[in-house]
Structure 1
Amino acid sequence: MLLGLRDIGSRINGGFVVTPPRPVAPASLAAPSPEVSSSSSPVVTQGDVIDHYVKGLPDNDFKRKVKRCLQLFGEFLGHNLPVADLRQRAVTDFMRDICRLPDKWARRFDAGESIASMLAVKAAKVMSPTTYEANYRGPLGTFLDVSSKTFGDDGFRAMSVKHIKYMGDRLPEEDQQRALRPDELVTLFEGDAFARIAQDPKQEPL
């Protein structure tokens, strides 16, 4: 330090002082290379989150129901979609669009038909309000809530299906027991099936 002060004083008075070599920092103080300091984390996709969630469920009928719901969710939005890109509007659109699917969409999908082709044609019969609530809105709502807590650090936002109402044309209690309509009575007693049974004495109990 004294040598440094001496050199500074000499320079102030106009003297010539040789600039000393730049000191070399020890390796322990060296800054890490860009490759080490900027290591990137893998992108978490919607497929990753769905697989993680389904694996944590017990093996029962409820798991099969949830798995089918999330399979449809993944088909709509894309299994490779980064969770940081998932938005509430996409969830809302999904819930509204599934109300237009045929009630037997799963069988047709398993047979190779695409979701897009099923939505392109107006279905003669869509899913019921009960199915919508029990098989889709309920399970998806729980999935979104759990996933936002588990994968929040990866960008999975808090989203909800709470206020997304059923948009189909089925009635809530249409499958409940009721009186037969006149046209249904005609079909029942004057149709081909009843005629075949009536002609066969062995089928009298039917």
Structure 2
Amino acid sequence: MRSTKQLHQKLINECKKQNAKAQMQLYNTYAKGMLLVANRYVKDSFLAEDIMQDAFVKAFKKINTYKGEVAFGAWLKRIVINQSIDEMKKKKLVMVSINDEVLNVVEDNDWEVANDVTPKMVIDAIDKQKDKYRLVLTLYLIEGYDHNEISQILGITTVTSRTHLMRGKKLVKEYLKVISHAEGY
């Protein structure tokens, strides 16, 4: 594994020198995965490809800021996620912030679903939700961000993030119940 890490670091160092061949190698290594990430957010393969391309351009312009504190793929993934969310905001996605004093969110860590529910069914259920719920569910469950990070990425409060997660989870569970009954499970 060490040789792969060293190869990546060598490519990154060459990219910092504006080496086009190294940039192409990094692109080929990460493009497919980053396209999947963008597609999770925008649900349009052509737009996701544009976002991914723009993210790579941005990454190569800012590669000198990459310090190696996290894996390069994680650093690039964050750029793709931010680029995807920026694109959604351009399309007038409105995130309604809920007044912190009015709402007191109870942390709910019960994520259990029926045994016959597959990960694909959960992802499909998340994809069916309104954008405000889908984004928070995706960032929290799939990308692994916490509520503070989600609030920064989406420009909402942590309370709103928790609320969207709680409501989104409830909607996903309801959707899964309907699907499992409809399919005769």
Q: TM-score range by the shorter chain?
A: under 0.3
Would you tell me which structure has more helix in proportion to its own residues?
Answer: 2
Which is higher, the Rg of structure 1 or of structure 2?
1
After TM superposition, the score normalised by the length of structure 2 is: 0.27
After TM superposition, the score normalised by the length of structure 1 is: 0.26
